[in-house]
Amino acid sequence: MSERRPQRVPSGRWGRLYHLGRATGDLALGMGWRGLLEMTGTSEGSGPITLSPERARRLTERLGRMRGAVMKFGQLLSMDGADILDPNVAEVMGALRQGADPMPLSQLDSVLRREWGRRWQERFTTFEFSPLAAASIGQVHRAQTADGRDLALKIQFPGVRESIDSDLDNLAFLLRHFDALPEGVAVDPLLDEARRQLHQEADYLAEGRALQAYAAALGDDPEIILPAVHPDLTSERILAMDFMSGEPIDHLADRINDQKARDRAATLLSRLSLRELFEFGLVQTDPNFSNFLYQRESDRLVLLDFGATHSVAQGWVEAYRRMGRAASKSDRGALEDACRELGYLHPGATAEQREALLNLLEMTSEPLRHPGVFDFGASDLFERVYHRGRSMFFADRFSGAPAPETLFLHRKFMGTFLLCRKLRARVDIAGLLEPYLRE
């Protein structure tokens, strides 16, 4: 990971609200008048929003210092930063996806003592105190146990789990204070679902069980590999797994002359995403690209993080199947029915809201209707969807939000789409989806 200075995690609601408020101020001041007009849809320009590198650095540092729910929110915003921000700033904001500030050694030792006891070091022959990575909820260390196991240890930041509720309360305060959501979109159900998901992600015992359940659903797949859980060293705040080698999957984007590897990696992840929804009913939903590794020597995909793994009720699976059928056939009547079933359209939606949403969904589903491979590198679909969706958002063209319990699926869909696009991959999306849409 890139060199970062250890920083203690801020605690207490008002202290974290202070940092969040400063981060929001950095964003607003750095964007300037034109950027604010772009964000609110009142400017006709369609170019990237500029933010000075210094302001972006300060914003990134504040979110990285807070960790927890606020940093995860920032990671989601930064995923499409290459199109919303200018290239220099997007690179700085992309640091949120690469990692957070590690905790000081004193905090690390206190966590390990609490979970494993005062003589915890006797369990290991080597323990790398410099973390391999630090994310929104914890950091990862490599270690070799006394009995010869090569492990990756995911260790939770102290206080982050306890701060989830206050972080989300702070976000709710800012969303309401700045009137940041369209009329008719209730913030409370969305934040309640986010609260539930984040508490689940902060329970490493639950993540270990999710990894084992996912492995059982995946079965013997020669193209996908998962780490094994080591229960004797796993607790609510430490997850012990096999150490897995490979490169973050989005790094394949730099292999300009290896279109085959980029296509294969994107196809593997797209196929797996469809299997998760339609076969497993169990979806790994964290869209952070660093959660997926690619092994060049074997052309296999490695999955690392299962904290955001969610089961999907069969009713929702069938609703998305119906939406996929309607979108692939441009059947607007059936598409409207699916939108109402999934909560995109409320009963009181106007004709204008209905038409705007159906037009947006038809645009978004272009890869489903494209015969053969869809070239994500040559398509401007993301830019068109982004600018259309932004205009609709600030013009109150959305009559409702997706059902809160389906929010994690939208994270998955967006993450897969963005990765295919980042890799400039060519993927036969329609061919992969077709078997799941049959009557």
Active site residues: 286
3-state secondary structure of 217: helix
Beta-bridge partners for 267: none
Query: What kind and span of H or E run contains 416?
Result: helix 407-422
Q: Which residues, including other chains, have CB under 8 Å from residue 175's CB and lie 6 or more apart?
A: 181, 187
Q: Which residues, including other chains, have CB under 8 Å from residue 88's CB and lie 6 or more apart?
A: 53
Q: What's the Cα-to-Cα distance from 202 to each of 121, 135, 197, 238, 381, rounded to whole Å?
A: 24, 12, 9, 10, 35
Distance CA(201)–CA(194), nearest Å, equals: 10
Best CA proximity match to 148, nearest among 168, 132, 126: 126
Q: What's the Cα-to-Cα distance from 108 to each of 71, 118, 143, 232, 275, rounded to whole Å?
A: 20, 13, 14, 19, 38
Distance CA(416)–CA(381), nearest Å, equals: 14
Token pair of 169 as six digits = 């309360």
Give me the helices (H) in 79-203, please. Answer: 81-84, 87-93, 95-98, 105-116, 160-177, 187-201
229 touches 241 (CB < 8 A): yes
Distance CA(394)–CA(328), nearest Å, equals: 28
Please report, in angstroms and rounded to a whole number, the separation of the first and last CA atoms in the chain.
Answer: 47
3-state secondary structure of 323: helix
Distance CA(141)–CA(127), nearest Å, equals: 7
Token pair of 368 as six digits = 């489903």
Looking at residue 9, its amino acid is: V
Distance CA(203)–CA(211), nearest Å, equals: 13
Strands 300-303 and 224-225: parallel
Backbone angles phi, psi at 254, to 5 degrees: -80, -15
Backbone angles phi, psi at 248, to 5 degrees: -50, 135
